[in-house]
Structure 1
Amino acid sequence: MVMLPQVEHELHKRRRSRNIGLLVVLLGFVALVFGLSVVKITQGDMMQGYDHRPRPSMLPADPNPPARNPAPVAAPGTPAAVQGGAEEAGR
């Protein structure tokens, strides 16, 4: 069986060149999106999404912040509160 060389029609050549052009455009778009993603991630900025809630980082600083307790206080009825009360009673 003898294989004759296939003669490619001119329409197929044009279609192939258009497909290669489309491939180049799509690869360029993918490279652009990837590059932008890499830059945004490596930039190190605070990346926060908008979730309809106030963000503490966006609120102005409170000029009179509330006083902070130096030590945590145990809730009444817990073992730590009972222990602390017994120590104070023994003094």
Structure 2
Amino acid sequence: MIPTQDEVRQEQTAEIRRRQKARATIMAVLMGALVILIFAVSIAKIRAGMPHG
């Protein structure tokens, strides 16, 4: 059976949405990692500037 044009469009739209969701998830993970990295560097700088004792 040959898929209708509407079915093909729905499949293409679903594939685009899956790719967008995957890209959004990757970006969220990368942004979260950047926040954690900046936080860790800030803590390290604060600790380095404090007197030991």
Q: What range describes the TM-score normalised by the shorter chain of this pair? A: 0.5 to 0.7
Residues 49-70 of structure 1 deviation map (CA, whole Å, 9 limit, x = unaligned): xxxxxxxxxxxxxxxxxxxxxx
User: So what's the TM-score if we normalise by structure 1?
Assistant: 0.40
User: So what's the TM-score if we normalise by structure 2?
Assistant: 0.63
Partner of residue 7, structure 1: 2
Structure ranking higher in helix proportion? 2
Structure 1: segments with no counterpart, 5+ residues? 1-5, 47-91
Residues 18-65 of structure 1 deviation map (CA, whole Å, 9 limit, x = unaligned): 11111111111111110011111122134xxxxxxxxxxxxxxxxxxx
Q: Percentage identity across aligned positions?
A: 5
Higher relative contact order (CA 8 A, sep 6+): 1
Structure exhibiting the larger radius of gyration computed from Cα positions:
1
Structure 2: segments with no counterpart, 5+ residues? 44-53
